[in-house]
Every structure is written in structure tokens, then in C-alpha cells.
Amino acid sequence: MVVDLYPTMIHEGDLSPDAFGDEVDEICNEIHEACAGFGTDESRLLKAVGGLTPDTRCKVPIRYKALFDKELKKVIKSECGSRDFGKALQYLAVTPDEAECDMIEEACKGGGTNTRLLSTIIVGRTNVEMEILKKNFFAATDNDLGRLLDKELGGHYEQLIFNCLQAAEEAYDEDYHTEELCKEDVIAFYKMGQGKWGTDEKGLFKLICARPAEHLVNVNRAYADEYG
């Protein structure tokens, strides 16, 4: 089942809240003190940023910039480097959507694409959040996400990702996603897979990505009853 991962601030496109609150200021000061002086108190820094809620995580880098005139992500990179620990903290130092844009760029670096990382970001997203991700990826990198992945990927995996990028999952409607449609989809799945010489992956991916989870649960149950 697809779920929303982004907080309301990102959905509304409002990254300039009227008030940040004392909690956000305390977190910013804690980060600043953990990075002050010679040597970084990494345990203190991790404690400060590791448990942030998605909403607070959006506010902290904005407020940190206002308080200390520094980009939080750059501060953490300078203090902790870009190996696994430093990179993880850098992802926590930006909004969730910006972190995902950074992760996608990282997945496409070098001679091979990290498809496992791409899958965790792109597969199973809501239509709204997929559109937000594509829009913000272009704003951050000046690259179209679909065109980038078209260059990076190939074969059946590219077909799956392409269908996910379409953000075309139907909203569940019990008047449309009926038992009759369920039976039709069971037959369609069989003809494209088990009942076909050579699986039609493109057709399977298109159907799976278009149907809502509530309907696919029924299809799965009916398919098991019919074909084992």
C-alpha cells in the first residue's frame, strides 16, 4: 500500500512557517554547540538530529540558517565528512524531499546505478508525492528525473520505474473496483504471466502500478484461489 512520507509543509509548499517554536531553537543550538570548537561531539550531534519528526526536520535547517547564517548540510559535511556516517547526517540535515533528491543523485553516480536505493525511493509512492519529488528534483538539479533514469536504467527494471514515475495509481472506488473487475484482472495477470510463453513484464508492471492496493489484495486472493 502506498503511503505519504512527506510532512504537511512539503505538501503545501510552505517552507517559511510563521513560528518555529522553542523546541526548534533548542535543537539548532544543540547542533551548533556539538560542532563548536576543536572536534565534533558526534554523539551529541546524532542525538540532536537523529530523532527529529519529519515536520521538525523541515524547520531546523531553515531556522539554523537564520540563527547562525550557515547552511546546516554544509556544516555537517565539514564536521563529519562524506563517508557513511557523515552522509547519513547530511540527509537528516535537509527536508525529506531534498534528501531523496540527493539520494537519487548518489544512486546514479559512477559506473553502476544503485537500483536498490532507487527502489526504496520511487516504488510505492503516492501520486501526489511522486509529482512533488519530480518537481523538486528538477528544481534542485535542473534535470528531469525521468530522462535521467532513462539513461541510467534498462530492461524490465526500467519499465517498472517508468510506470511508478507516471503517478497514475487509481483512487480506490468500490463502484469501479468491483468483483467483476477483479475477475478480469485475474485473467489478465494469468495471460501475461503464468499462462504465457514468456512473461509480459511491461503489461504486468502497468497493471500493478495502476491498480490501488485495496483492489490488488482482492486480486491476489482470487488469483490464488483460481490458479494456486
Convert the pLDDT of each residue in 68-125 to its tens digit: 999 999 999 999 999 999 999 999 999 999 999 999 999 999 888 999 999 999 999 9
Please report the pLDDT score of residue 37 as a whole number: 84
Please report the pLDDT score of residue 110 as a whole number: 86
Instruction: Quote the CA–CA distance of 92 and 99 in Å, as a whole number.
Output: 7
H/E element, 85 = helix 84-92
Q: Which three cell numbers mark 65?
A: 540558517
Question: Contact 49/91 with Cβ under 8 angstroms?
Answer: no
CB atoms within 10 A of CB 109: 9
- For the range 139-144, what are the long-range contacts, defined as Cβ-Cβ under 8 Å and sequence gap of 24 or more? 140/98, 140/101, 141/101, 141/105
Instruction: List the chain residues with pLDDT less than 50.
Output: none
Please report the pLDDT score of residue 1 as a whole number: 63
H/E element, 71 = none
Residue whose grid cell is 501526489: 128
Question: Contact 102/61 with Cβ under 8 angstroms?
Answer: no
Please report the pLDDT score of residue 20 as a whole number: 83
Integer CA distances (angstroms), 186 to 49, 64, 223, in order: 47, 53, 5
Is the overall model pTM greater than 0.85, yes or no?
yes
Torsion 156-158-159-160 (CA) sign: positive
H/E element, 167 = none
